[in-house]
Amino acid sequence: MPAPEQYRMIFRHIDEPGYSNDLACYVRNGGYEVLRRAVKRRPEELVDEVKRSGLLGRGGAGFPCGVKWTLLDRRSGKPVYLIVNADESEPGTFKDRYIIHQDPHQLIEGIMITCFANKVERAFIYIRGEFPQGARILEKAIAEARAANFAGPDILGTGYGCEIYVHRGAGAYICGEETGLIESLEGKRPYPRIKPPYYPAVLGLYQCPTIVNNVETLCHVKHIADMGGEAFSKIGTLNNTGTRIYCVSGHVQRPGYYEFALGKITLGQLLYEVCGGPLPGRKFKAVIPGGSSAKVLRFGERFRGKRKVGVEMVEYDWGVEDIPLDFASLATAGSMGGSGGVIVMDDSVSMVEALGNINAFYAHESCGQCTPCREGSLWMKKITARMVHGEARAEDGALLKSVADQIAGRTICAFGEACAWPTQSFVAKFGDEFKAYAQAKKETGAREAPELV
Amino acid sequence: MIQPATSDLITVTIDGREVSVPKGTNMIEAARRVGVDVPHYCYHSKLSVVGNCRMCLVETGMPAVDPATKAPVIDPATGKQRVNWGPRPAIACATNAMPGLHVRTTSPLVKDCREGVMEFLLVNHPLDCPICDQAGECKLQEQSAGYGRGYSRYIEQKNVKPKRTLLGPRVMLDDERCILCSRCIRFCKEIAKDDVLGFTDRGSYTTLTCYPGRRLEGNYSLNTVDICPVGALTSTDFRFKMRVWFLKQTPSIDAESSAGANTLLWSREGVVYRITPRQNDAVNDTWMADSGRALYKAIRGDGRLDCARVNGAESALDLAVKAAAELLLRGGAAVVGSGRSSVEEQFLTRKLAVALKAKAWLVSRVGEGDRILVSADRNPNVRGALVTGLVDALPSGRLDALGALIDSGSVTSVVSMGEDLAAAGLSAAQLARVSVIYLGTHANATSAAAKVVISTLTVFEKHGTFINQQFRIQRFARAVPGPAGATDDLVALSRLLGAVGRPIATADVGALWTAIASEVPALAMMSYGNIPDTGLQVDGTPWAGLPFAEGPGLHYSPAAPAGKEASRG
């Protein structure tokens, strides 16, 4: 089956010749028209539209956006804040960056509609420290929008006011975790908070109810307000609505970012047809479908069983190539849609070394607040680094798995799973390679070992 | 703890046992009530909950109900309502009581969680127990023995971190031993209000440190050593002095102020090695000031009086008492009692004053209160003097009125219960005009000028009670014997009473209470034995109108705070 055409909604103008990131260009292309219409409606209607749309959060967890908004504690009488999570740090993910760099006003329009719908008067864009240019672009775009009354004290003459602030992070992956982000925004160490009781919808920024949404999610809100929740829910598949940006990196002919209707394209179509397949003379070996913390899929493995589609139970029998790229299907296959970062590895890759690389990242980024993740991530890194540097033991694979099993599900935040899942899945699916690595290492010699920090 | 109203009680089930706890009680405390130990490191009952050690992971569940009918789902095997156990373990410290909550603390999953956390805590821990001061009172030792696996799978290099970092004058840090529980940080921020500690770096390389340019030098710094569950923070005073398992613990009271923090004296073979706080939720929670911990040094300090003296010459106690009585019975006697004496001593001091028809005086010591556990009144027991009737008004800091009586010749002999009369305003000439009988522990200008000196005991060497600023009567006990030649204050006073013709039946503190209970209205119905370890509230209303010096402190707000700041929680 040939791959479907790209459905460019969020990325409609990305890389379009002549399209610039200033306000004039955005307005020329119909920008802020949706906001104009939205502020004439009742805020509750807009929330209902988003609920009807079935939009799932695009940050990684895939939590229903409309539900998140309705969980807000409205009875406390405290102000409600919106935080835009632009701390795009998941390895393999590079979608928000392009929205911010090339189409910042789309994001700002989405933010303003969201703020209006939720009666928010202060929005914070938390952008990762490694995006200095993005921060500058956003500052400029906000100033332009404010000058044109698309943001600020009196938006489009309605009397409704909302300010947007840009806050730069200082270079920590954990700041992408929503409660860690909130702590960081408050000026503290980004230690994620315990939930309960600190759910952002109730006790978020400055202990006030807070919405934390991803950049891509907020851009979708603009399109939902434009076309209506009903129409949006027709895009994609049942319960997995809208479009999704896939960031493909690694060993394919044409890596890059591609936007498709959710669930309408399979992993095989994406990698072979859209991305041009493996490099000459190579074969695909493994793929991580949702950012580096998602569980790895091994080419050649099969997934069989029954799954729920709507109300019916449907049998499925998939190879890796057959998995539709939506949240539910990837979860069925034991991995996750995550942040949409598709990392492809071909047969030139040693899985031990690949895991060593991933473990080095997570050990470096663990915030160190809670014990299992703090000690476990570094221990796993030390094991894989030792293996890579020529002192592998046959039992290291089992030890790695056991350490990872002691982390997942026992930590304050989802970083525990994020650092444990790669190890668990690599060892589960490439266990033989881990066992044989000591011998293989002797044959190839330590000279080829990559330098791991 | 204040008994809650029954309507606020919530029943939870822990390991199959039901327990009713007040709303807001977490599962560590609830489990404690049914005798179940939930191991933990970062949780401390007096600090905020952060849930970072993950040692207290337990399984939680709620009773199953049919989603459609809301009817309970009954397990046919047991005939009881089935419990839906959660998919993930939860931390007991942040799980508060909910109606119907079930907790499992012994399941295989919980056991595995604890073994995992123990292993993680130990992989980068130096395991230098043989040279570590915390050994013997180390939670890491206790819980690895209780809940760990007992072997190590770790063959990598351990992390290297700073050793022997002096955080402040009294606290030493070994970063390698630190398990990053953040108790000390939270203590400094929440209790001491001196936010000097924090973490730098991240992940397993996270390091505890002081804010640049600051030191951990507040008067509460040693509490961080107490609450450190491992050997990371140690007291520079106690370090390497003694293994804790050799030490005997004796309950006592901090005598540095009227706050009356409850303490433990740690001693061995007649030597006190350290003082730590003892939990009393009505007085000091689990805290005490550093200044109170140094008081034991006075036991062996310079100038300790170690024998009775008459006119400067060493004397037997009997002869000294006889000489004192002769001086006092000439008439014109005055008695200077002390706010540092115990209630029992004040009771006998009053009897002595009555016997001599002498006026009793008291010297106040007022400083700055720190709004926590050092109150403005540095006498631990001024309220005892009021309650026993030794004095009926608050004392002043100077004895000028007594000086005038000496100048006029109407006072010719003075008994001082350890008070330095020179420091209280009497001149050398005035002291020379009267016959001074000094009962005290340390030499000073008054003891030098005294005709009779009887050496007595410090608070660490005797039994007794103090009444603190809350009118709470609290016992202290003898940890170590006094020096040879020193006499228990009660014995000395009873001998004096005998010598002036008013003998009392006993000088034993317990037996003395029969008389105290019958003669002191506020202490009626009490006996020494039935005062609990955490003290007993005395009705202070007869003295409520007095202008006490204390400002607000931990668990204390002044009765009539005219224009004073509000109390802290």
Question: Measured between CB atoms, does A187 come within 8 Å of chain B?
Answer: no
pLDDT at residue number B564: 42
With CB atoms and an 8 Å threshold, state whether A366 touches B203. yes
Is residue B568 scored above 50 in pLDDT? no
What is the architecture, at CATH level 2, of domain B301-537? 3-Layer(aba) Sandwich (3.40)
**Residue of A364, A322, A358 lying closest to A343 (CA atoms):** A358
With CB atoms and an 8 Å threshold, state whether B203 touches A409. no
Residue B213: what residue type?
G
pLDDT at residue number B567: 41
With CB atoms and an 8 Å threshold, state whether B153 touches A376. no
Residue range(s) occupied by CATH 3.40.50.11540 in chain A: 23-234
- This prediction has a pTM of 0.93
Provide the Cα torsion B224, B226, B229, B234; round to 10°: 70
Question: 1.20.1440.230, 1.25.40.10, 3.40.50.10490, 3.40.718.10: which CATH number matches A351-448?
Answer: 1.20.1440.230
**DSSP assignment of B279-317, as one string?**
-BTTTTBT---HHHHTGGGGGG-TTB--SEEETTEEE-H
Across B419-441, average pLDDT: 96
pLDDT in tens, A246-305: 999 999 999 999 999 999 999 999 999 999 999 999 999 999 999 999 999 999 999 999
pLDDT at residue number A79: 96
In the block, tokens 């939590």 appear at A63
Token pair listed for A106? 């789309």
Residue of A nearest to B205 (CA): A368
Q: Which run of H or E residues covers position B186?
A: helix B183-190
Which residues of A are less than 8 Å from B199 in CB distance? 189, 368
Interface predicted TM-score (ipTM): 0.94
pLDDT in tens, A374-427: 999 999 999 999 999 989 999 999 999 999 999 999 999 999 999 999 999 999
Token pair listed for B153? 């799978």
CA B374 to CA A333: how far, in whole Å?
Answer: 64
Mean pLDDT of all residues belonging to chain A: 94
pLDDT at residue number B8: 84
pLDDT in tens, A301-338: 999 999 988 788 999 999 999 999 999 999 999 999 99
Which fold is adopted by the domain B126-240?
Alpha-Beta Plaits (3.30.70)
Domain A242-346 has CATH 1.50.10.10: no
* CB proximity under 8 Å: A 362-401 to B: 363-372, 374-379, 382-383, 386, 399
Which fold is adopted by the domain A23-234?
Rossmann fold (3.40.50)
Across B229-254, average pLDDT: 97
pLDDT in tens, B218-230: 999 999 999 999 9
**Residue of A333, A370, A355 lying closest to A420 (CA atoms):** A355
The structural domains of chain B, with segments of one domain joined by +, span: 6-120, 126-240, 301-537
Token pair listed for B106? 């012994």
pLDDT at residue number B561: 47
Which residues of B are less than 8 Å from A356 in CB distance? none
Q: With contact defined as beta carbons under 8 Å apart, do B359 and B334 qualify?
A: yes
- B186 phi, psi to nearest 5 deg: -65, -35
Of all residues in chain A, the percent with pLDDT exceeding 70 is: 98
Residue range(s) occupied by CATH 1.20.1440.230 in chain A: 351-448
Q: Which residues pair with A236 in a beta bridge?
A: A241
Which residues of A are less than 8 Å from B55 in CB distance? 371
Residue range(s) occupied by CATH 3.10.20.600 in chain A: 242-346
With CB atoms and an 8 Å threshold, state whether B53 touches A370. yes
CATH class of the domain defined by B6-120:
alpha beta
Mean pLDDT of all residues belonging to chain B: 94
Mutate to test the interface with B, among A179, A369, A378, A401 (most CBs of B within 10 A): A369
Q: What is the DSSP letter of B123?
A: H
Across B14-20, average pLDDT: 95
